[in-house]
Structure 1
Amino acid sequence: MPETSNAARRTPILAPSGTGMVRALPPADRFALRLRGAPVPAGGFDLGGPLNSVRGTPERFAARLGPDEWLLVCPEGEGPAAGAAIAADLAGRFFALVAVGHRNAALAVRGPHVAAILNAGIALDLSDAAFPPGAATRTLLGKAEVVLVRAGADFRVECWRSFAPYVHAFLRDAAREFGG
């Protein structure tokens, strides 16, 4: 019987890349959380923000995507401890917590033309007034479903691993117009 720690090894779909306008981010641990009732802090994540918002740091955050739905992201390796802490903090509540780190990949999009690059495939107003820092939403980029997170001036694009090469190529192609 194969050793499970070797059989379940996760490999990045996109190698983390340099400092351009569009770059692949390193692997991370992620959870899909569904929580019934009033949100409370759990596992060090702030779940209290309004719909379509993000709370935390660029490396460890909770994106509220629906009235009872969050995407929780933390650095790779923190997932087991974070999952246990979330489950302990939510004990006695109705919730579902699913590890989805193996399913997603992430890209950073940054620079003075970030909204124009993203708008090549996303039909949303990404101006500071409509999508300010601290905003998050699920949307489409071209033909791929993505979660768009704005932690500051930069944007983070979360997508399923199978769409990552497409999303990466799409955004890099859009960035070429601006020298990226």
Structure 2
Amino acid sequence: MSDLLASDVITPDAGKTPLLSLPDVSILKAAPMTRLSLRLREAAIPAAGEAFGAKLPVTPLGAETSAKRVALWMGPDEWTLLAPEDELQAVFDGIEDKLDGQPHSLTDISHRSEALIVSGPKASWLLNTGIFIDFSLEKFPVGTVTRTIFHKSPVMIWRTGEDTFVVEAWISFMDYVAGILVESAEELAAA
């Protein structure tokens, strides 16, 4: 399992046992975190990034990280912002104050989604059991983020290391996503 994570915001949940721990792949629940959905116009991007504490990526599929902050590109005018769970109000208020008078939408989505950390030499193989994306480092380098479908569930995939991915899904789909990942990994172990 790789210990390389892009930020200390995405960490394993210390209160949870690993969902799976095999020599070639592991699946850990990520600790709860602040999640905000931000939509705004191009002119407000620098101010929002300054208020958040990490630049907002403007390159499709991009991510920007700083100490305890992650900004993920979700579309031409949409970002998911991640921060420590206990900093929700401070982050929210800071962005709202900085963007006062500018058209934008900032929504707390912290309780909508959960994340898994999938890591190990077979992590991309495991994700490919339900996602038809080329996860080679050349095509999906570290830092790349995308929304896609895992089997029948919408997910967000973010590569945080050579063999480490964050898989985020809505809470109502997470048992399904985690269950299929564990089942597929157990088939790998049996092979």
Please, what TM-score do these two structures have when normalized by structure 2?
0.80
Match among 57, 60, 64 for residue 69 of structure 2: 60
Q: 1:58 to 1:111 in 2, by over 3 A?
A: farther
Residues 36 and 95, structure 1, Cα contact 8 Å, conserved in 2:
yes
Structure 1, unmatched stretches of 5+, are 1-14
CA distance in 2, matches of 1:130, 1:64: 17
Q: 1:27 to 1:51 in 2, by over 3 A?
A: same
How many pairs were matched up?
166
CA distance in 2, matches of 1:139, 1:113: 20
Q: State the Cα RMSD in Å.
A: 1.9
Alignment partner, residue 158 of structure 1: 168
CA displacement at 1:174 relative to structure 2: 1.8
Alignment partner, residue 124 of structure 2: 115
Structure 2, unmatched stretches of 5+, are 1-14
Tell me the amino acid that sits aligned with residue 35 of structure 2.
R
CA distance in 1, matches of 2:126, 2:66: 23
CA distance in 2, matches of 1:92, 1:52: 29
CA displacement at 1:59 relative to structure 2: 5.7
Alignment partner, residue 102 of structure 2: 93
Please, what TM-score do these two structures have when normalized by structure 1?
0.85
Percent same amino acid at aligned positions? 36
Alignment partner, residue 26 of structure 1: 31
Task: Provide, for residues 87-125 of structure 1, a one-character-per-residue CA deviation record: whole Å limited to 9, x for no partner.
Answer: 122233221000000111100000001110000011111
Alignment partner, residue 17 of structure 2: 17
Alignment partner, residue 3 of structure 2: none
CA distance in 2, matches of 1:77, 1:33: 19
